Chain A
């Protein structure tokens, strides 16, 4: 029992980080109907930048997030303008998948050249410390990662619900035509939305780099999990993504602890298939354009 509860705790902490990583992905889809397969690669890129800032300049990962965010936002806007806007809107969903996959390969290639394929990890001083709460050990670094993820998700929520840009984004997600009629510049919202999604990705990368070793090829495993999370949660739904991420974290950890680690990653996919059989639109997705 102790083992199971410990696993649940670990799973929640891991799930929180995945929730942050998945949030950008589902946001991109909701706003622009774009499946950003490069999200994984952007997260890894964020991890590398944060790692370099930490190892060479001794900048704390949390601070690196603040530093990276504006640059990442700008990069996101640029990518959207150059690669995504030219795609015809009726084919955008499918083509964006391939275009962003190509971008992901490009990012992987560049990172391989710069950093080679050695695994890295951002190891702040507290990496080996752990707290004991009610008999359960909690690694400090995972708690910090969870905390940062929570803060950023909260910030994202605030942006979406308390700022004008956020309202425009939500309006575009719910009903793009109506939004346009009300004066929302869909093109600009798309660009900013994508920028926001990339900024979230690099922030998630900084956090990710603290808890897991990574190399340029890590984005494959990452994106497959993230895509599965957003499909389970329902494409376009932020709450769904968070929920699904927590489900994933907990189910994998519990299975690893109780039965066997080798089968643990499969359990999540099985859950996905199970849900899709009953609800092809995912847990919180709608069959039409959804809410964020």
Chain B
């Protein structure tokens, strides 16, 4: 069952500490700024992974949850004040819970379809969400967008609270990811991924499992969206609910290793700084989409399981060729085996 191993705990706490310490070591604003987006995508990718990686149900509509979280924050703070400036962070768990519950009815319709249809239905949900953001003027102000109040943080450490909030969301995502993966829900999800009909035949409550995974994924994504809204300050429908956010998170999860716990974070650590750097260098920018596509295709075709599982395979192969250990074949998709 679920065992907290010392190495696992060390890794978890260690990485969290590393991430948290980052802005105190590298204090330059522009560095912390890139850090904010990196950690944000790490959280998004990890959250996506709970459903997409563990159960194999590729959701391509996560940006809708992101937008819901962002709008949730903005709408809330049209009516209440931000106090000392930290209130938008304290309400994040509420927003996460709120979105998680709100998506359940729609998720129920979606998860009753099978994998291919599910993916398409999530794309449709994404566009519905964007349409609603544009059309519900009284709530979202439509295309005019919403404004978050100006954060009162001092300029020298302005980015820090946002960065730390994102780290908190990431830590929560990884923790929940681990908790799910090592528990019964995880077993159910993996069973669904391997063979859903058989799982159902064996009595697994597939709908309940998938719904739970969707709720977790949605709640975490919404929290990241909430922090983002406060940081950027301006929420417009086409940016809050943006398909490229989903595709980025999915790509990072694939790159790092979907089905693993730290894989998505690794994917984000690689891709986000690269992406921001590429866009910043003059001349590279127009090929930005093409580069993205090329990386994606490369990962799909050459390393379809992602970095961490591929490394694990290599290591396992080397071990067995050394005769030291008979590896039972690629086991990298089981969560105990990978960080």
Asked whether any CB of A lies within 8 Å of a CB of B in the complex, the reply is yes
**Chain A residues in contact with chain B, CB under 8 A?**
29, 33, 35, 83, 86-88, 91, 93-95, 97-99, 101-106, 108-110, 112-113, 220-221, 223-224, 227-228, 230-231, 235, 262-263, 265-266, 269, 272-273, 276-277, 280-282
Known: A94-B58, A276-B109, A277-B109. A99 touches B297 (CB 8 A): yes
A103-B293 in contact (CB<8A): yes
A263-B135 in contact (CB<8A): yes
B113-A276 in contact (CB<8A): yes
Determine the chain A residues whose CB is within 8 A of the CB of B112 once the complex forms.
276, 280
Interface residue from A83, A93, A269 paired with B128 (Cβ < 8 Å): A269
A98-B250 in contact (CB<8A): yes
Interface residue from B115, B131, B135, B296 paired with A102 (Cβ < 8 Å): B296
B123-A224 in contact (CB<8A): yes
The smallest beta-carbon distance between A18 and chain B, in angstroms, is: 15
The smallest beta-carbon distance between A101 and chain B, in angstroms, is: 6
The prevalent SS among residues of A at the interface is helix
CA distance A88 to B131 in the complex (A): 36
B300-A98 in contact (CB<8A): yes
Determine the chain B residues whose CB is within 8 A of the CB of A263 once the complex forms.
135
Is the CB of B36 closer than 8 A to any CB of chain A? no
Determine the chain A residues whose CB is within 8 A of the CB of B191 once the complex forms.
none
Interface residue from B124, B291, B293 paired with A227 (Cβ < 8 Å): B124
A231-B247 in contact (CB<8A): no
The prevalent SS among residues of B at the interface is helix
Interface band, chain B: 35 or more
CA distance A269 to B122 in the complex (A): 11
Determine the chain B residues whose CB is within 8 A of the CB of A277 once the complex forms.
109
B116-A33 in contact (CB<8A): yes
Known: A106-B290, A110-B290. A93 touches B115 (CB 8 A): yes
The smallest beta-carbon distance between A275 and chain B, in angstroms, is: 10
Interface string of B98-131 (1 = CB under 8 A from A): 0000000010010011111101110110111001
Known: A99-B296, A108-B289. 10 other contacts (CB 8 A): A35-B119, A86-B301, A87-B304, A95-B300, A102-B294, A109-B292, A110-B290, A235-B117, A276-B112, A276-B113
Q: List 21 A-B contacts (CB under 8 A).
A: A29-B116, A35-B116, A87-B300, A88-B304, A91-B304, A94-B119, A98-B250, A98-B254, A98-B296, A102-B292, A102-B296, A103-B297, A105-B247, A105-B289, A106-B289, A231-B117, A231-B120, A262-B134, A265-B131, A266-B131, A277-B109
Interface residue from A98, A113, A224, A227 paired with B287 (Cβ < 8 Å): A113
CA distance A92 to B90 in the complex (A): 43
Is the CB of B226 closer than 8 A to any CB of chain A? no
A94-B289 in contact (CB<8A): no
Nearest residue in B to A226 (C-beta to C-beta)? B120
Known: A269-B128, A273-B109, A277-B109. A94 touches B116 (CB 8 A): yes
Nearest residue in A to B108 (C-beta to C-beta)? A277
Determine the chain B residues whose CB is within 8 A of the CB of A99 once the complex forms.
296-297, 300-301
Task: Specify which of B127, B134, B286, B294 lies most central, judged by the most chain A CB atoms within 10 Å of its CB.
Answer: B127
CA distance A279 to B123 in the complex (A): 19
Determine the chain B residues whose CB is within 8 A of the CB of A231 once the complex forms.
117, 120-121, 124
Known: A83-B301, A235-B117, A276-B113. A97 touches B58 (CB 8 A): yes
Interface string of B56-91 (1 = CB under 8 A from A): 101010000000000000000000000000000000
CA distance A106 to B135 in the complex (A): 31
The smallest beta-carbon distance between A246 and chain B, in angstroms, is: 18
B115-A94 in contact (CB<8A): yes
B120-A227 in contact (CB<8A): yes
CA distance A279 to B124 in the complex (A): 17
A227-B300 in contact (CB<8A): no
Determine the chain A residues whose CB is within 8 A of the CB of B128 once the complex forms.
266, 269
CA distance A276 to B203 in the complex (A): 24
CA distance A200 to B36 in the complex (A): 44
